[in-house]
């Protein structure tokens, strides 16, 4: 009798592991991260405007940092501060300060920086 319970327990454990997987439940959902093609005019401005412009724009340049023009964003991308901050690397203040960006947005910014932060 005990064995049956243990068996049942193990089976239900595996079953729940399988069905609880987000990728299995929503294989074509919005959970996919496409960081293969990233443009400044697309993903980069979308991310920066959602999470950074509020403190770093031409009239409110918190910490003397402006990010809402291509030239400024490009400067911070190429001098390492942009990724240093969003990835919370040692020596950089975590940005945004309240909660970090999600992994997909970090990967997309990284792709743009790796490409040389082009104005595309």
Taking the complex as a whole, how short is the minimal distance between the CB of residue 107 and ligand HEC, in angstroms?
A: 14
Taking the complex as a whole, how short is the minimal distance between the CB of residue 29 and ligand HEC, in angstroms?
A: 25
Closest by CA to 47, choosing from 66, 78, 39, 59, is 39
Q: Residues with Cβ < 8 Å from 19, sequence gap 6 or more?
A: 25
Smaller CB distance to ligand HEC: residue 43 or 95? 95
Q: Which residues of 47-106 form beta strands (DSSP E)?
A: none
Interface residues for ligand HEC in 45-74 (CB under 6 A)?
A: 51-52, 54-56, 62-63, 65, 67
Contact between 97 and ligand HEC per CB under 6 A? yes
Q: How far is CA 49 from CA 15, 66, 67, 110, in A?
A: 42, 12, 9, 17
Chain residues binding ligand HEC by CB under 6 A are 51-52, 54-56, 62-63, 65, 67, 76, 81-82, 85-86, 92-93, 95-97, 101
């Amino acid at each position: 009798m005990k064995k049956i319970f243990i068996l049942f327990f193990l089976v239900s454990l595996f079953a729940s592991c399988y069905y609880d997987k987000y990728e299995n439940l929503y294989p074509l959902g919005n959970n996919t991260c496409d960081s293969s093609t990233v443009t400044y005019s697309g993903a980069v401005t979308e991310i920066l405007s959602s999470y950074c412009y509020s403190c770093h724009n031409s009239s409110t340049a918190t910490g003397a940092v402006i990010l809402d023009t291509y030239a400024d964003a490009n400067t911070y991308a190429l001098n390492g501060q942009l990724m240093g901050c969003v990835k919370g690397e040692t020596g950089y203040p975590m940005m945004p300060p309240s909660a970090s960006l999600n992994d997909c947005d970090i990967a997309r910014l990284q792709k743009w920086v790796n490409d040389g932060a082009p104005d595309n």
